[in-house]
Structure 1
Amino acid sequence: MIFLKRLLIAMLGLLASTIVYAQAPIKDTSRHGKMITIISADRENFQQIDSLTQVLSLAGKAKVQQEKTIFEADSIALNQLTNILEAFGNVHINDNDSIHTYSQYLKYVGKEKKAYLNKKVKLTDGKGVLTTEELVYDEQTKIGIYYKGGKVVNGKTVLTSTEGYYYGETKDVYFKQNVFLKDSGFTVKTDTLLYNTKTGITTIVAPSTIVSGKQTIKTKDGYYDTKSKKAFFNQRPIIDDSAYTFIADKIAVDDKTGLSEYDGNAVYRTKDSTGYDLIAGNIKANRKTNALLATQKPLLLIKQPQDTTYITADTLFTSKLSELVKSRTVPVVRDSVKGKIPMTKNPKDSSADRYFEAYFNVRIFNDSLQAVCDSMFYSGEDSVFRLFKNPIAWAQKNQITGDTMYLFVQNKKPERLYVFENAMSIQKLTDKYFNQIKGTTINGFFLDGKIDHLRAKGNAETVYYGVDESNKYLGVNKASCDVIDMYFEQKKYGASPQKIVLRNNLEGTAYPMRQINHEELRLRKFKWLENLRPKSKFDIFSN
């Protein structure tokens, strides 16, 4: 009996020490990091498998803690010797109330503070939600990594990729391989992308394709702010729309206001072969009004299959004519139209519902006609160029000047040139001889884009050199009358005067060629300005 009592006491003592040993955590050791402590569980079980394996099993609302990180699950198996735990079913890691991670399975290495999660993994930082099937999360660095596909949802922004790297300290997610971003109104496809769940900023670091409605943007460097709807792209991005393409060294876009800026070798091209192109160092655009403002050596090309018109100025501007007439009256200059310019009957005809303005040092070139002036206005509705302040136009060998000019265009070829106030036409024959016509107004008429005849009215004057059939000079006539008509014939070297007709109140004198000082014979305000003429499309930027 004494022996049995001693044996029972020893067994009870051993059982008590085992229970105390199972519930009391092992002391911290630097080798295994901060120890994982038990908070609670419905059931507990302890097993001493070997000298390196000591497993404490917790079941039913199991909860443990390492420093400020709390682990919860349906069941937890904790090896207190190695400081490693496995959790099963409805796993939840609360990292200092800042980052929450969920899964159905967890292996956690306490020494490294690294978590390996499987099945229905979800990580959230209060802003975005990351879901995947497998995730490695480092509690020390706050970095989560997945390699087999994952998705991040932040408000209306959804991102998916094959690989992902989440940085909890900065709230950045680094996506790699088959990256796809979808937001309200646009999508992004790329191989590599950086996204911040706090700021909502998407940073592009690899060739990417952005689709927004009918617009596609191709870029390899830049960012898009999903909150402010502002974007900035570097390294010569391309915007491709159903109606145009836009290229520049740098592009800044504000989707909320519809404003955008294109800086550095900016090129705007319409896809219509009869539309227009715009090239400049800087172009600002307004998507809502379809307006473009070009500076830094801008060049406008009004296209057609042949004889494209090139226009340069210090500043070029274009927008919808239907917007302009809301704020001001646009005078009509076609004789067949009265009152305000009527809007095009077909609203889809964008070329008709468009106007162009050019300011300072305006230069115009096409094969049929060249011109310079201080400012210009062109309406697609009536196809008339209005040239203001000291305009000069050249048609083959003819120079025409005046206070204001209207150049009427038909099928984008010169049809008529109307000059009023101090109008003068000069044709160079030799370095000393010039045919001259002057009047209050001059109308020049073109046939198939080439000068056909001129009419001067109002105090008309002329100096005209007559020639015979061999083109030898017969003499020179200086005359004045009410109306002067000059008719041209087309020759290999250009248009040549065929005849001149003087009408009403004629007064004039004919002079032999050798009995007159030809320079004194010139009309008042005579100036031959060939040095200002653009000789080719390559010469259009010359001063």
Structure 2
Amino acid sequence: MKQKFTSLLFFFFFLFSFAHAQVATTDTNKVNIIRANFLYLKPEGQLQILSGNVQLSQNNTLFYCDSCIINSSANTFEAFGNVHINDSDTTNVYANHLNYVGNKKMAYLNGNVRLSDGHATLTTKQLDYDVASKIGTYHNGGKVVNKKSVLTSREGVYYTDIRDIYFKDNVELKDPAYYLKTDSLLYNTETQVARFIAETFIKDSAGKTITTKEGYYDVAHSRAEFTSRTTIKDKAMTATGDRIASDDSTGIIQIEGRGVLIDTAQGVNILANRIFANKKTSAYLATQKPLMIIKQEKDSLYVTADTLFSARLTDLYKNSDSLLKLIGVKEKDSTNRYFEAFRHVRIFSDSMQAVSDSMFYSFKDSIFHLYQNPVVWSRKSQMTGDTIYLYTKNKKADKIRTFENSFMVNEVQPGVYNQVKSTRLDGYFKEGVIDSVRARGAAESVYFIQDKDSAFTSVNKTSSDVLDVFFLKGEVYKVILRSSVKGTLFPISKKHPSEMHLQNFQWLEEKRPKTKYELFE
């Protein structure tokens, strides 16, 4: 009995000495035994079997398990049950089973694998974890949970030291605020920034969708930037551009490079190289060759300028309740919007064209206010004045008013012009074509009279207080003088058309937009 006790004491003394020797080694790749309830050493001395609260170490990495088999010559071990790797106190990995290659510092884990970096937790069936580089790789599906965000993919690489995860193949990110689907995604668990490197689809809880190929989305701050051709769609607006930056907290969207903004509520498209939009105020600013298209079935209206701006009328007149009541605008009214254009304004439709230095348009009254050297053309007729109001109905020209220094020119043929000059002109359109004009205040006119064969017979120069001009198919066919009439009828042989120009006459055909394609240049 005493001999058995002495042998048992010698065995435990040998186990303590062996474990102590393993801890004291200076080999940085050597796997050391820290503790175990039981140890069995095979006679060859190469295999050690440990069980019960097993703890091993390699440098700053700790390994825990229920039992394991160590091959000391190969510097490998296999662990079973409640496997836990604590890597430098920053990363924890859990599994049912582990194969570890000490010289390569590679851990091959399977069975309910979990990896946590303190911010997010990855779960998968199998994981290859490189202890040296702190990189975990899975190939058979994985899920990462970070606060309320859940990411899944077929394959993934987890860079635990920098908190980056590269997801690949059937990637999905689900969050209470949005859903994302792509083929490749780089996600940082600390900053909660997702970077896209493949075709990506995003949909938020409000129904807004984003289609892109490259960019990032900051989940924590609801900010995003896209650096390839991207489209953002919501209920009232669609934005497309080569580069888009979006901040949901402020509602600001910045579009650069072949930008397109579609206001679906108003049927208006904005094209520009740079566009700023505020979703909270429904305002947008377009620069760098901006073009506005007011869509209609047959004759869309195109407007270009150096700068285009649009916002709500209620924001424009918010400090004047009496004015808001007067114009009858309500916050949620579809007509609660206006446009402004600054510098080099050009307007084109098939039936009407115009230029000016600046413009204001209200959807409430459908009036174009043209300022500073405005010119409006309708077929062969041209109107100028200090200020012009162009009224539209169903998005077609309905009537026109010119104020101060009003002048209308109607081209009969090159070099021959009918003319009307007055303080104010009021013109009326029919089906988008000029139908009649009334001139008031020191009205003057020059009118070339033709016979049935369209040969010129005479020219009439008159003045009156009020003068009416009537058109047929866009050409003058009758002039009526209402009061205080004075005039002279000249035989056509006595007056050359160039002599029959009223004071301040000008024919500005070179400024006229000829086609809508000119506006894109």
The reply to whether TM is greater than 0.5 is yes
Q: Which moved more, 1:390-399 or 1:461-470?
A: 461-470
1:524 paired with 2:503, answer yes
- Per-residue deviation, 1:56: 3.0
In the other structure, the counterpart of 1:508 is 487
Distance 1:96 1:79 in 2: 24
Q: Structure 1 residues 24, 229: CA separation in 2 closer, same or farther (over 3 Å shift)?
A: same
Pick from 365, 372, 383 the counterpart of residue 382 of structure 1: 365
In the other structure, the counterpart of 2:328 is 342
Partners of 1:344 and 1:381 within 8 A in 2: no
In the other structure, the counterpart of 1:464 is 447
Q: Which moved more, 1:369-378 or 1:511-520?
A: 511-520
Pick from 309, 312, 317 the counterpart of residue 301 of structure 2: 309
In the other structure, the counterpart of 1:155 is 147
- Per-residue deviation, 1:88: 2.9
Partners of 1:240 and 1:246 within 8 A in 2: yes
Distance 1:425 1:205 in 2: 59
Partners of 2:15 and 2:39 within 8 A in 1: no
Q: Which moved more, 1:411-420 or 1:122-131?
A: 122-131
In the other structure, the counterpart of 1:449 is 432
Partners of 1:26 and 1:80 within 8 A in 2: no
Aligned residue for 1:311, secondary structure, equals strand
- Per-residue deviation, 1:65: 1.7
Q: Structure 1 residues 331, 359: CA separation in 2 closer, same or farther (over 3 Å shift)?
A: farther
Distance 2:43 2:360 in 1: 93
In the other structure, the counterpart of 1:58 is 51
Q: Structure 1 residues 157, 292: CA separation in 2 closer, same or farther (over 3 Å shift)?
A: same
In the other structure, the counterpart of 1:398 is 381
Pick from 513, 518, 521 the counterpart of residue 539 of structure 1: 518
Report the AA paired with residue 214 of structure 1: G
Unpaired segments ≥5 residues, structure 2 = none
Aligned residue for 2:315, secondary structure, equals helix
After superposition, residues 178-257 of structure 1 pair within 5 angstroms as 178-212=170-204, 213-257=206-250
**CA-to-partner distance for each residue in 1:134-184, whole Å, 9 max, x for gaps?**
211111110111112111122232211111111123221011111111234
After superposition, residues 56-455 of structure 1 pair within 5 angstroms as 56-59=49-52, 61-212=53-204, 213-271=206-264, 275-327=267-319, 340-343=326-329, 347=332, 350=334, 352-455=335-438
**CA-to-partner distance for each residue in 1:337-388, whole Å, 9 max, x for gaps?**
xx7321259x3x63x2221111000000101111000001111111111111
Report the AA paired with residue 133 of structure 1: K
In the other structure, the counterpart of 1:45 is 39
Report the AA paired with residue 249 of structure 1: D
In the other structure, the counterpart of 1:35 is 30
Aligned-residue sequence identity (percent) comes to 43
Unpaired segments ≥5 residues, structure 1 = 333-338
**CA-to-partner distance for each residue in 1:250-303, whole Å, 9 max, x for gaps?**
11111211111111111223457x711111111111111122211111111100
Aligned residue for 2:493, secondary structure, equals helix
- TM-align CA RMSD: 2.7
Aligned residue for 2:29, secondary structure, equals coil
> Aligned pairs, how many?
520
- Per-residue deviation, 1:441: 0.8
- Per-residue deviation, 1:473: 2.1
- Per-residue deviation, 1:50: 4.2
Aligned residue for 1:538, secondary structure, equals helix
- Per-residue deviation, 1:33: 5.9
Report the AA paired with residue 469 of structure 2: M
Report the AA paired with residue 48 of structure 1: K
**CA-to-partner distance for each residue in 1:192-223, whole Å, 9 max, x for gaps?**
11111222221111111111232211111111
